[in-house]
Amino acid sequence: MVISSSHIYSQSNLDVLDINTANKINVKRFTQNGQIQIYQSAYRGSYPSIIRDSLRNAALGRKVLLIQFMKGGVKQGVDNPVRLCGNLTWIRSSHSFDQYNSEAFENDKNLKKSINESTLELWNFCKKELQSGENDQIILDEIFSAIEMKIIDKDDLISTLENRFISGDVILTGTDIPKDLLLMANQITELRS
């Protein structure tokens, strides 16, 4: 008996389960890692449908983690998540790029350092969550902007996604998506105005 779903699994993820029944059988089980979905758009701020879907999934009982890398707010950050529907954890950067104009960001080294540190704190939190297997869905909103700004390393993201443990989907959003990541995706959706 083979247990699987519509996902493609590699032979290296094969485990054998011992079932305690009168007719002793071995069951082969594949580790399930969900899909990688990429939503791309020509402009920022075009992802309200993803946020809407995350709320719906949480209301239906799925455990959802929504991380917004380029958006911040008052008393936000890893230590102050917003919880909605009992199942949605929504975290924004404690000090984000969106709170300032791009000129201030480029000219003020202390500001840039603070924003970079806050974004890296979010990324390190996300890496742990991608390995924990505790979420049914993880959304990394505008992570490609953090890569483009050289705050998050593209190879670190690729390695983390390759070694993730999540039964549901990982959703990545952004405007300029590296080709390496497009090739990893199970689904690519282009959002148009």
Q: For every residue of the chain, which 3-state class applies, written as one string?
A: CEECCCCCCCHHHEEEEEECCCCCEEEEEECCCCCEEEEEECCCCCCHHHHHHHHHHHHCCCCEEEEEEEEECCCCCCCCCEEECCCEEEEEECCCHHHCCHHHHHHCHHHHHHHHHHHHHHHHHHHHHHHHCCCCEEEEECHHHHHHCCCCCHHHHHHHHHCCCCCCEEEEEECCCCHHHHHHCCEEEEECC
Question: Would you tell me how many other CB atoms lie within 10 Å of the CB of residue 171?
Answer: 25
Provide the residue ranges of all domains of the chain, joining segments of one domain with +: 1-32, 33-191
pLDDT at position 85 over 90: no
Strand partners, 187: 37
Global pTM?
0.77
Distance CA 38, CA 172 (A): 5
pLDDT at 12: 40
Q: How would residue 66 be classed by pLDDT, with cut points 50, 70 and 90? A: very high
When pLDDT is averaged across residues 53-58 and rounded to a whole number, the result is 91
Q: What does the mean pLDDT of the chain come to?
A: 79
pLDDT at position 42 over 90: no
Q: Output the CATH code of domain 33-191.
A: 3.40.50.300
Q: Which of 91-95, 111-115, 127-131 holds the top average pLDDT?
A: 127-131
pLDDT at position 29 over 70: no
Q: How would residue 45 be classed by pLDDT, with cut points 50, 70 and 90? A: low
Residue with more model confidence, 116 or 9: 116
Distance CA 37, CA 155 (A): 18
pLDDT at position 136 over 50: yes
pLDDT at position 56 over 70: yes
pLDDT at position 50 over 90: no
Q: How far is CA 42 from CA 83, 180, 193, in A?
A: 30, 19, 9
pLDDT at 72: 73
